Amino acid sequence: MSKILWIKNGRVIDPANDRDDVGDVYAVDGLIVNNLSPEQKSSATVHDATELIVIPGIVDIQVHLREPGQLHKECVKTGSWAAAAGGITSMVCMGNTTPPCDNAGTIQYLINIIKRDSIVNIYPVGTASIGMKGEALTPTGSLKKAGAVAITDDGHCIQDNEIMRRAVEYAKMHDLILMDHCQDYALTKNSVMNESEMSLRLGLKGWPNAAEDIIVARNIILAESTNAHIHLQHISSATAVDFIRRAKSRHIRVTAEAMPHHIALTDVSLKDYNTNFKMNPPLRTERDRLALIAGLLDGTIDCIATDHAPHSPTEKDVEFDKAPFGIIGLETSLAVCLGVLVHDKHCDLPYLIELMTCKPSEILNLDKGTLSEGSEADICVFDPLESWIVHENGFFSRSKNSPWIGEELRGKVKKTFVKGNLVFNGEYILSPQDEHTILARPGES
């Protein structure tokens, strides 16, 4: 017997198909269909989305799930729960695990865990260098055959330009995108926050924009000379945005992403030495923040990703200098971006949805981020106006290192469907096999 889903009366926004209207979304056996027969409607599971927004499931192309090897921070299972609670139905997990994803065996091991434990779609990437040391290249072809959708040393940056050039060439040879974390180590040794008036006031070692700008420029040069596609991760510098804009005007094959925290916050947030505001790259100035927003609006920056980077409370509850970089973001990204871009009237809602669904999918050639007929029924239903307080014990993520704790956000995910199965009902994580079975409640990870 077919499993039939009918989401009715919502405002359906599907940028990939230029759809924005009040109407219905249908799925049969996990796939989107344009219509249901009268007989199918009579047996469908109906969800009323009146006054709610219905969109393709959000696609996040930069997430750290910490498995294998760092399960005290996060795992595939809890990361997938957090994603579902944030309306994210597809995500790309980085390879800086323990051991790193620098060989086909580790990729296959991770894929087996994903098949067993995840309630959302997760795509692994392979590292660009062995051990993420930036000294020797990984077997790119083997990584792709094992299931890697891209290569990156994210969390590290290859400093040797010759090694980087060869990594880019091999990625192109195997039709993979190289994603790069842009950081010049010589300029960031012992740095813990943005180099600015604020770092001087706090007495903390500053991290100059130039550390990002130099590597962005290097990657643009390599993309032009090799005609390969390089994706620039978590851009934070106004000058880097300008470099990327100029590169695109010359049709150089670079794409870029911005993070919710970088478009919402500045280094002023570090005034109380709260380590939940310590991240890599660091929070910059208001000038940089506004440049990132402008880059998103004019297409210089292609998409939004979270850089979800969980750390345990004991790791973050230390002196600022000693705390690890990174924050969680899967469960708050939609609300944060709604606040900054839509509620503050920088762009309309359909454009934001485009930045979080079909745009990231296009970068990595994922068949996601759309409600096209025949595509898998990955769907997010949310209320753009509902306010909620971010509580430390309200996360499905295993870690709690969020800069939004105690803050009121506006925009709440009400339901998340993966392959037509309800996996989040606005309160609980549900079993994909039986939506009446609760897998997790907030704070239980």
User: pLDDT tens digits for 195-254?
Assistant: 999 999 999 999 999 999 999 999 999 999 999 999 999 999 999 999 999 999 999 999
Q: How far is CA 17 from CA 56, 121, 302, 378, in A?
A: 11, 22, 18, 15
- Look up tokens 């999918």; give the residue: 361
Give mean pLDDT, residues 99-115: 98
Q: Is the pTM of this model over 0.75?
A: yes
Backbone φ and ψ of 4, nearest 5°: -120, 130
Q: Is the pLDDT of residue 364 over 90?
A: yes
- pLDDT value at residue 444: 86
Calpha distance 133→345 (Å, rounded): 43
**Band (445; pLDDT cuts 50, 70, 90):** confident
- pLDDT value at residue 8: 98
Q: Domain residue spans in the chain?
A: 57-363
- pLDDT value at residue 159: 98
Q: Is the pLDDT of residue 407 over 80?
A: yes
Give mean pLDDT, residues 262-284: 98
- Those residues whose C-beta lies under 8 Å from the C-beta of residue 79, and which sit 6 or more positions away, are 63, 65, 66, 67, 91, 93, 118, 122, 308, 310, 330, 397
- pLDDT value at residue 36: 97
Backbone φ and ψ of 146, nearest 5°: -75, -15
Active site residues: 307
Calpha distance 430→418 (Å, rounded): 11
Give mean pLDDT, residues 145-155: 97
Calpha distance 380→49 (Å, rounded): 11
How does pLDDT run across 157-191, given as a tens digit for each residue? 999 999 999 999 999 999 999 999 999 999 999 99
Tokens of 62: 């930069």
Pick the CATH number of 57-363 from 1.10.10.10, 3.40.50.2030, 3.20.20.140, 3.20.20.70: 3.20.20.140
The percentage of the chain sitting over the pLDDT mark of 70, rounded to a whole number, equals: 100
Residue type, 68: P
The percentage of the chain sitting over the pLDDT mark of 90, rounded to a whole number, equals: 99
How does pLDDT run across 9-28, given as a tens digit for each residue? 999 999 999 999 999 999 99
Q: Indicate the average pLDDT of the chain.
A: 98
What is the dihedral angle through the alpha carbons of 178, 180, 186, 190, rounded to the nearest 10 degrees?
-140
- Look up tokens 């393709």; give the residue: 56
Q: Is the pLDDT of residue 352 over 90?
A: yes
Q: How far is CA 393 from CA 83, 175, 315, 361, in A?
A: 16, 43, 17, 32
Instruction: Report which secondary-structure segment, H or E, holds 387.
Output: strand 379-389
Q: Is the pLDDT of residue 391 over 90?
A: yes
- pLDDT value at residue 1: 72
Instruction: Report which secondary-structure segment, H or E, holds 218.
Output: helix 210-226
